[in-house]
Amino acid sequence: MIEVNGLTKRYGEKYAIKDVGFKIGEGEIVGLLGPNGAGKSTTMNIMTGYLSATSGTVSVNGFDIRENPIEAKKNIGYLPELPPLYPDMTVKAYLDFMFNLKQVKANREEHISKICKLVKIDAVYPRLIKNLSKGFRQRVGIAQALIGTPPILVLDEPTVGLDPKQIVEIRDLIANLGRRHTILVSSHILHEIQAVCNRIIIINQGEIVADGKRDDIIRKVTEDARFTVRVAGPRDEVAKTLVKIAGVDKIVDDGVRESGSNDFIIIPKAKVDVRREVFERLADRKWPIISMVSGQLTLEEVFLRLTDTADSE
Amino acid sequence: MRAIIKREFSSYFAHPVGYLFIGVTFLMASFSFFIDVFLYGTTDISPVFSSLFGLMYLIVPLITMRLLSEEKRHKTEQIFYTSPVTMTEVVLGKFFGACLVYIVATAIVFVHQVVLAFYGSPEWGLLICRYLGLVLLGGLLIGIGLVVSALTESQAVAAIITLAVTMIMDRIDSLTQSSSSETLIKITEWISPGHHFTGFFNGILNVADIFYYISMTGLLLFIAVRILDRKRWA
């Protein structure tokens, strides 16, 4: 569906993006995640033909965006960071204009009314765009991208500046659209991406630092399967018992966090799951486990770690 | 392209600027018609054309200032870059959209001619010839405005620079009036839109004059397309 290869955009000496490459298959909903200024919009702008890359190629449904721009653009619906709306037009006039501009071959009224129902803008259809709230403008922006039913949707920060209720609504809408379209959606908010995307690409300072399914990325970044147990029992004896378990590499005493118990960080040998064993040994000695918490990083931590490493380089 | 022409034309009437342009043109042309033709008791409508000729240099920047600068400011230009249209279609759409407003405004001369028809038998052929010249002049002026508005985000800057350029174009042949070089005089005369308008004004359809307007306008539109295409590389 989309193939991006070695995409680089340079402004003088500064790289906006550097050697960005990924493939998106049909039906995928991919999240492009990165801090502000990471190169998300630049990447999307190049993919949709708004900017030219210094080097690299973008192929959309088999059409190169540079060599065959018209065909490539027919396959993409794009919502830029700032929805490109004419404030002096009504929603109706604007969608009509986009319908004509994209030279869509469908029944106009049917097509537009279907989109309006889908993105829920029927109520504001006859109104001037300049009088609409931000949430509705964003929806009109999405409606515009949907005109012509392009197989691919590129949505740049579709929920930015919306209130929590609107965010949930737009997120549901994207999930809904994902049934019929291949979607690339960017955001700097993890929550959003996590909720709708089945694949995540993390970009930082113009370079891709991770690409994969959510849990795969987390596993890759977390060095080991460490976890913390809180045990109500004599400290030294518990430690001795734990260290004897086959598969445990190291025990770190994490001190007392709750009276009457002690915390231990258990670092198992690579790829060994010792949680069951730990439970059984401690149960044998009648030392209850108050809690057991996985030390795996959350997506937030993974994100921070990935973007921090690159910062300190 | 038709979608852009339609949007452009109708957008003039979402703002006062379209009404203002047409209103001022009607007013000035009719004023001239009343004092120079009607009160004089003549059926010679040429003073109206002289007034319109001068007026257009001044007020065409009104209808060209927002053509591309406004798109840039509102970021709506992204629509054109990311939709399946070429920059040539965009520029031509904008150009013809503005031309339509210009044609509607200047068509007032036909109304004046009809009024005169009650009092005498005006020369329709001459009128059409002059009107053609006026429309070709409009195309050239709109072309200048289009190029300027492609270069700036500010409507005011676009209007002022366009005005400066059209005013210089208007008097470019005066530059060499005291020159002894025949070549220099020929060159400035060739550049001067007014010089080429004289033929139309006198009812002479000259291929060289038509060629001048069309080629100059074409060149300006080509430059506008290049400016837009280059922006992708910025």
Instruction: Give the pLDDT confidence of B153-176 residue by residue, as tens digits.
Output: 999 999 999 999 999 999 888 888
Interface pTM, i.e. ipTM? 0.88
Closest CB to B85 among A52, A89, A101: A101
CB contact under 8 A, A86 and B78: no
User: Is the predicted pLDDT of residue A310 greater than 70, yes or no?
Assistant: no
Contacting residues of A for B74, CB less than 8 Å apart: 84-87
Instruction: Give the pLDDT confidence of A224-240 residue by residue, as tens digits.
Output: 678 889 999 999 999 99
- As beta bridge partners, residue A7 has A20
CB contact under 8 A, A71 and B84: yes
- As beta bridge partners, residue A4 has A22, A58
pLDDT at A313: 43
Which distant-in-sequence residues (6+ apart) come within 8 Å of A141 by Cβ? A79, A80, A83, A84, A85, A158
The pTM for the full model equals 0.84
Q: Which of B13, B71, B74, B83 to mutate to test the interface with A (most CBs of A within 10 A)?
A: B83
Lowest mean pLDDT among A121-130, A262-271, B79-88: A262-271
Contact predicate B82/A48, CB 8 Å: yes
Angstrom CA distances, A141 to A136, A227, B88, B139, stand at 8, 45, 25, 34
Contact predicate B112/B130, CB 8 Å: no
Q: Which of A11, A14, A50 to mutate to test the interface with B (most CBs of B within 10 A)?
A: A50
**Interface residue ranges in chain A relative to chain B, Cβ cutoff 8 Å:** 48-52, 69-71, 73-74, 76, 78, 80, 82, 84-89, 93, 97-98, 100-103, 144
Is residue A84 helix, strand or coil? coil
Q: B85 to chain A: nearest residue by CA?
A: A70
A42: left (phi over 0), alpha (psi -120 to 50) or beta: alpha
Closest CB to A88 among B15, B77, B84: B15
Contact predicate A213/A30, CB 8 Å: no
Instruction: Give the pLDDT confidence of A38-92 residue by residue, as tens digits.
Output: 899 999 999 999 999 999 999 999 999 999 999 999 999 999 999 999 999 999 9
Instruction: Give the pLDDT confidence of A186-220 residue by residue, as tens digits.
Output: 987 777 788 888 899 999 889 998 898 877 887 77
Q: Which of B4, B11, B81, B229 to mutate to test the interface with A (most CBs of A within 10 A)?
A: B81
